[in-house]
């Protein structure tokens, strides 16, 4: 979770805005929009991979649900910040996030 917090800070410094339209439930007492959106499984798996030493240059994630729009945008930012390739296979397609901050699906998810 500390790595997710550092990634959130770096993303915010680079102009990333957390979009509350991707929220599917009300916030509980001690939650923020950022904490709920960054608690999605694929982001936690990516953060877990990034705490390895040395940091990987390629991360692959497989999930049985679709990637939400927030996770898609945030993963693009993570790939750019960390300068690594991230591949996420969801229920519909394979997303290849490149170190230049682009995705192979060209944002058609």
Total tally of structural domains belonging to the chain: 1
The model's pLDDT over 37-65, given as tens digits with 9 standing for 90+, comes to: 888 999 999 999 999 988 899 999 999 99
Confidence bin at 28 (pLDDT 50/70/90):
confident
Q: Which domain holds residue 33?
A: 1-103
Residues 6/38, Cβ–Cβ less than 8 Å: no
pTM of the model: 0.89
Q: Per the domain annotation, does 108 fall within a domain? A: no
Q: Per the domain annotation, does 29 fall within a domain? A: yes
Q: Per the domain annotation, does 37 fall within a domain? A: yes
């Amino acid at each position: 979770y500390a790595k997710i917090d550092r990634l959130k800070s770096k993303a915010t410094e680079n102009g990333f805005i957390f979009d509350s339209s991707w929220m599917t439930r009300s916030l509980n007492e001690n939650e923020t929009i950022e904490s709920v959106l960054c608690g999605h499984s694929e982001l936690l798996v990516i953060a877990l991979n990034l705490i390895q030493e040395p940091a990987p240059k390629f991360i692959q994630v497989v999930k049985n649900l679709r990637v939400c729009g927030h996770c898609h945008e945030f993963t693009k930012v993570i790939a750019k910040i960390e300068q690594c390739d991230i591949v996420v296979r969801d229920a519909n397609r394979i997303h290849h996030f490149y170190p230049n901050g682009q995705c192979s699906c060209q944002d058609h998810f």
